[in-house]
């Protein structure tokens, strides 16, 4: 009996990204960190940009919702066969949720749309450069120390 193993949420998109596209995304992130290492006064602005950056999930959701809405409107006003479009998109969304792949994913990754984890990696590197984690207060006990570290990471 074989079992179906679903990829971890944090790995499912990168697992289905072409190696060349993944390398371009990673190189862009490394270059950004290098650039801001030399411009520490600009790190706060870059962190604000990262807060507004759309990740791959949000991009796919907005794309799917737009296509589904268009299919419903066209199906209701032009031809009922357009109702097949939202049905197909719903299937692709389910496939993405389970496997991490759907038809628009390669295009969006080629365009450089990153996962939330990739964005968070850049954010953490910039905060480390800025010295945010050096200011984590030392607390008594592991629980208090862990909570202080969590609070510092959320700032």
Q: Examine residue 55 and state whether it is found in any structural domain, yes or no.
A: yes
Residue 122: pLDDT over 80: yes
Cα-to-chain-centroid distance, residue 56 = 5
Q: Examine residue 1 and state whether it is found in any structural domain, yes or no.
A: no
Q: Examine residue 2 and state whether it is found in any structural domain, yes or no.
A: no
What is the spatial distance between Cα 63 and Cα 118, in angstroms, rounded to a whole number?
20
Q: Examine residue 6 and state whether it is found in any structural domain, yes or no.
A: no
Q: Examine residue 93 and state whether it is found in any structural domain, yes or no.
A: yes
Sign of the C-alpha dihedral, residues 61, 64, 70, 71? Answer: negative
Global pTM value: 0.87
pLDDT, residue 65, reads 98
Across the chain, what does the average pLDDT equal?
91
Roughly what angle, to the nearest 10 degrees, separates helices 84-99 and 56-77? 160
pLDDT, residue 36, reads 96
Q: Examine residue 4 and state whether it is found in any structural domain, yes or no.
A: no
Q: List, for residues 40-73, the tens digit of each pLDDT value.
A: 999 999 999 999 999 999 999 999 999 999 999 9
Runs of H (alpha helix) within the chain: 12-15, 19-37, 43-52, 56-77, 84-99, 105-110, 116-130, 142-154
Is the distance from CB of 96 to CB of 51 less than 8 angstroms?
Answer: no
Q: Number of structural domains, the chain? A: 1
Q: Examine residue 70 and state whether it is found in any structural domain, yes or no.
A: yes
In which domain, by residue range, is 24 found? Answer: 12-154
- Label residue 30 by pLDDT band (50, 70, 90): very high
């Amino acid at each position: 009996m074989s079992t179906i193993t679903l990829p971890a949420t944090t790995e499912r998109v990168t697992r289905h990204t072409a190696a060349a596209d993944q390398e371009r995304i990673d190189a862009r992130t490394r270059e950004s960190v290098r650039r801001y290492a030399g411009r520490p006064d600009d790190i706060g602005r870059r962190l604000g940009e990262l807060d507004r950056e759309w990740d791959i999930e949000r991009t796919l959701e907005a794309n799917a919702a737009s296509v589904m809405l268009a299919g419903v409107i066209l199906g209701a006003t032009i031809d009922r066969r357009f109702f097949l479009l939202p049905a197909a998109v719903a299937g692709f969304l389910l496939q993405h949720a389970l496997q991490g792949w759907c038809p628009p994913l390669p295009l969006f990754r080629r365009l450089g749309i990153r996962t939330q984890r990739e964005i968070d990696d850049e954010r953490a590197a910039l905060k480390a450069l800025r010295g945010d984690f050096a200011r984590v207060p030392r607390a008594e006990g592991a629980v208090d120390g862990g909570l202080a570290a969590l609070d510092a990471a959320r700032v």
